[in-house]
Amino acid sequence: MSVIAAFSYRDGMRQGAVDFAAPVSERDNEFEWVGLFEPTAEELHAVAQRYHLHPLPVEDAQSLAGLPKLEVYGRHLFVKARTVSLIDTRMQFGLTSFFVSENFIVTVRLGSSEGHSLLRERIEDDAALLVQGPDFVLHAVLDLIIDGYFPPLDRIGEKLDHFEEEAVDGGLDRSHTKEVFSLRRQLLRLQRQLVPMEEVCAKLAHLDLPAVDPEMRPYFRDVNDHVHRAETLTRLQREVLASVMETSALIEQQNQNAITRQLAAWAAILAVPTAIAGIYGMNFEVMPELQSRWGYPLILLVIVSVSIGLWFRFRRLGWL
């Protein structure tokens, strides 16, 4: 069985490994914490039979599809939460499902490489916290998952600082423009998960739910604040990315306008000798300047004078 860890606790102290052949203890000061990682349908079904889990959430816990949610099934609580990791510029989403009752908590991880072993060791060192029961474990794991949202957001924030400088300096190149579009899509995907995740935490913080002691509500309010902060940061980063794209497009448009003005100015300057040369290239016989000794140098002087005059004019206008 893909059980990462399964231990029973009494008065906040670990007692030993869970005996899956024995019934679940109903004592108020005891509970079991079982952690599963990508179990097969048969393995999860065996766990569900021992803890009398409803078949609908059991089926839901086997799929990576869907959004975070909280549902009540009699005395049991079912919670789905999304984990996030950033690989290069692509976010990878995993799923952690919780089955919570007064005497047990079962976690099922799918697509998430970060385990709960270090968290388990840390909270086992403080029996005064663990004695509060499965609802405290639920809070601790949710807090761990939500804290995992911030490192990817921090890395994206560092990229945004670089993109902002590049956009102002001269616009984004093609590869960075594609990366900005990719980051916008990733942040949109994350925001779609954070909004229902915030609703889940708000329910845990304010509603009267089975297996959740009212004394735990301040802890879940703290988790809810973390989710809200992550959602706000995600929204702000999406706005910054949109601003970067708009700034880059504006800078590029200004550069194109400058080039267009330069081309227009040079075309106007070159039009002067082209027009004069065109007139004298029509081979008319009656053209007084053709008989003049100074006709040729005079025409060259006119061309040079007008061209220089136009150059200074365009230079003063900032076109050259």
Residue 111 neighbours by CB under 8 Å, 6+ apart: 38, 64, 83, 92, 93, 94, 95
Domains with residue ranges and CATH for the chain: 3-251 (3.30.460.20), 252-317 (1.20.58)
| Among 280, 320, 265, 276, CA closest to 301 | 276
Per-residue pLDDT in tens (0 to 9) along the chain, 320 residues: 577 788 889 888 888 888 888 888 888 888 999 999 988 888 899 899 999 999 999 999 998 888 999 999 988 999 999 998 877 767 888 999 999 999 999 999 998 767 788 888 888 888 888 888 899 999 999 999 999 999 888 888 888 888 777 776 766 667 777 877 888 888 888 999 999 999 999 999 998 998 898 889 999 999 999 999 999 999 998 888 888 877 777 777 766 766 777 777 777 777 777 777 777 666 666 666 666 677 677 777 777 787 777 777 777 777 77
Q: How far apart are the first and last CA of the chain?
A: 76
Residue 280 neighbours by CB under 8 Å, 6+ apart: 287, 289, 290, 299
pTM of the model: 0.76
Q: b/e string for 92-117 if b means 16 or more Cβ within 10 A? A: ebbbbbbbbbbbbbbbbbbebebebe
- Using only C-alpha atoms, the chain has a radius of gyration, in whole angstroms, of 35
Can you tell me the distance from the alpha carbon of 69 to that of 39, in angstroms, rounded to the nearest whole number?
21
- H/E stretch holding 115: none
Give 198-263 as a DSSP string: HHHHHHHHHS--TT--GGGHHHHHHHHHHHHHHHHHHHHHHHHHHHHHHHHHHHHHHHHHHHHHHH
Say how many C-beta atoms besides its own lie within 10 A of residue 54's C-beta. Answer: 16
Say how many C-beta atoms besides its own lie within 10 A of residue 6's C-beta. Answer: 19
Tokens of 262: 């330069």
Q: How far, CA to CA in Å, does 204 sit from each of 71, 77, 138, 156?
A: 11, 10, 10, 30
Q: Which pLDDT belongs to residue 127?
A: 82
Q: Which pLDDT belongs to residue 128?
A: 82
Q: Which pLDDT belongs to residue 261?
A: 76
3-state helix, strand, coil in the chain (%, to 5): 60, 20, 25
Q: Which residue has the tokens 């109903």?
A: 26
Q: Which pLDDT belongs to residue 194?
A: 92
Burial of 299 (0-12, 13-18, 19+ CB in 10 A): middle
CA atoms within 13 A on the CB side of 140: 22
Q: Which pLDDT belongs to residue 226?
A: 93
Cβ contact 111:193 at 8 Å: no
